[in-house]
Chains A and B, each alone.
Chain A
Amino acid sequence: MFEKMIDDSMSKSPWIFHINAGSCNGCDIELVSVLTPRYDAERLGFRLTGTPRQADIVVVSGPITVQTRDRLVRTLAQVPDPKCVVSLGSCPCSGNVFKGSYAIDGPLEKWTHVDVSVGGCTPKPEAIIAALAKATEILKEKRKEMRK
């Protein structure tokens, strides 16, 4: 009865959980600026949560260092379905300037399916919002798919 409403809500209330996988903190700051008065992602229902159990979108920044890899995989496993993974910045896509380092075990695709990637070092807040909005659409599709 409420299936349609739930499907619609899926794209209107995405809660974000942010994982820093060895990032230099640049992308993290930009992600926070998305929630500030200037860009105000709460307009679209975004909200930062403190636990992966409540997350819909997992935002990963950083080049996946060897130290963070296990933590990243474990935390991603703890997110309930349907979920979306967004890679933030160039590091999780390609390793960026850290590529080839002995301490890096990237890219993010190696460990999980990435739904949306935002490039840039660091990406602009507008780009991040666009990516998150894209992720909400994917979230809705995933929910519909799961229902079938």
Chain B
Amino acid sequence: MSVLMNLFHVLVFPGLLFCVVMGVLLSGLDRIWVARMQRRVGPPLLQPLYDFLKCCGKETIIPRHARKAAFLAAPVVGFVALVSISLFLPVAGQEAVFSGSSDLVVILYLLTLVSVCMIVGAACSGAPFAGVGLSREMVAMISYELPFVLVILAVSSVTFTVTGNVPQSFSLQAIVDFQAANGALITRLSMIPAAIAMLLVIPCEVGNHPFDVAEAETEICEGTLSEYSGAPLAIFRLTHMVKMYIMAALFCVMFLGGITTGIVLLDIAIFVLFCIVLTFITSSLPHAVCARFKVEQVFKFYWTVVAGLAVISLILVWLGL
């Protein structure tokens, strides 16, 4: 029975199926909102799903300079690694399926692994535009990693005051339990700068519009994805959508955790609502408002403004606020 239960968790909720559904939903909503903010009608809600299915139905061309095995394996490995993150997240008042200590660090590295898979895929394709794209992707990664790490440390140092032990304070379950007992972290003064920093980290981590330097379609012909077609491209698109959900869920867990009513379905509904609102703030709004940054601007922005916010948060925690 427990095996079946675990399989259900891995495959349906909060695993594979839920991730994909949420990814499609959030990314569809995002496209509609952006269209509405530009006074357009926008595509149907399920447009990302259509895109995915259509790509599956296309021919997959493997370029002459590409390494076939790695070229095809990279998107799959990245997607699977991303979905496995969802099993670490104690979403919607549920226990995390794969709950361990220090899973924040694991999640940090799994997110890195997802980007690395994209970079390796681009490198394998052997195309010049993909080369430029991977270089930008990597610089973007260095950019958001510093504030992201600082935010994680800030959140953990709050829980450390209660747990008093490091593996526990890096554990998302402990963070959620802490919030259930003491109120959501975002209500604390010391955590507000960290939450803002995290909101700014999300679009770059996902690769959304003002920070999508790696996939700039007009300048470098889709960058990392420039040689991908067919099913591998579809999986990369899906990875992008699911990443939107994973990052929103991570924010919910880190800053809005512990809000439970006791009714499972209602909890899930609240969680989905949070994810939708977060998508609007982190994805649609910057997309409609900003033009794309240059890669060195992205770096400068994240290492000064966003990292500064996170440091302020760390200092506030240190002062005991």
Q: Which residues of A approach B to under 8 Å, CB–CB?
A: 2, 5-10, 12-13, 15, 37, 40, 42-45, 47-51, 53-54, 56, 78, 80-82, 143
Q: Write out the residue numbers on chain B whose beta carbons fall within 8 Å of the beta carbon of A49.
A: 217, 222
- Whether B58 and A81, one on each chain, are in contact in the complex, defined by CB atoms closer than 8 angstroms, is yes
Interface check B42, CB cutoff 8 A: yes
Q: Which residue of A lies closest to B32 (CB)?
A: A42
Would you mind naming 7 contact pairs between A and B with Cβ atoms under 8 Å apart? A7-B57, A9-B50, A10-B57, A15-B51, A45-B50, A80-B230, A82-B59
Q: Which of B27-68 contact A (CB under 8 A)?
A: 31, 35, 38-44, 47, 49-61
Q: Which of the listed residues B52, B53, B226, B228 has the most CB atoms from chain A within 10 Å of its own CB?
A: B53
Partner of A80, one of B218, B222, B225, B229: B229
- Whether A12 and B54, one on each chain, are in contact in the complex, defined by CB atoms closer than 8 angstroms, is yes
The secondary-structure label for the interface of chain A is mixed
- Whether B229 and A10, one on each chain, are in contact in the complex, defined by CB atoms closer than 8 angstroms, is no
- Whether B221 and A50, one on each chain, are in contact in the complex, defined by CB atoms closer than 8 angstroms, is yes
Complex CA distance for A47 and B38, rounded to whole angstroms = 15
CB contact under 8 A between A45 and B51, given known A80-B229, A81-B58: yes
Complex CA distance for A45 and B49, rounded to whole angstroms = 11
Complex CA distance for A91 and B69, rounded to whole angstroms = 43
- Whether A37 and B43, one on each chain, are in contact in the complex, defined by CB atoms closer than 8 angstroms, is no
- Whether B229 and A54, one on each chain, are in contact in the complex, defined by CB atoms closer than 8 angstroms, is yes
CB contact under 8 A between A143 and B57, given known A45-B47, A50-B221: yes
Complex CA distance for A45 and B56, rounded to whole angstroms = 16
- Whether B59 and A81, one on each chain, are in contact in the complex, defined by CB atoms closer than 8 angstroms, is yes
Q: Write out the residue numbers on chain A whose beta carbons fall within 8 Å of the beta carbon of B226.
A: 50-51, 53
Q: Write out the residue numbers on chain B whose beta carbons fall within 8 Å of the beta carbon of A54.
A: 55, 222, 225, 228-229, 233
Q: Write out the residue numbers on chain A whose beta carbons fall within 8 Å of the beta carbon of B220.
A: 50
Q: Write out the residue numbers on chain A whose beta carbons fall within 8 Å of the beta carbon of B43.
A: 42-45
Partner of B229, one of A2, A40, A47, A53: A53
Partner of B54, one of A13, A43, A50, A81: A13
What 14 additional pairs, Cβ within 8 angstroms, besides A37-B38, A47-B51?
A8-B50, A9-B52, A13-B53, A40-B42, A42-B35, A44-B43, A50-B221, A51-B217, A51-B227, A54-B222, A54-B229, A80-B59, A80-B229, A81-B59
Complex CA distance for A15 and B35, rounded to whole angstroms = 17
Q: Write out the residue numbers on chain B whose beta carbons fall within 8 Å of the beta carbon of A45.
A: 43-44, 47, 50-51
Q: Which residue of A lies closest to B47 (CB)?
A: A45
Complex CA distance for A80 and B31, rounded to whole angstroms = 26
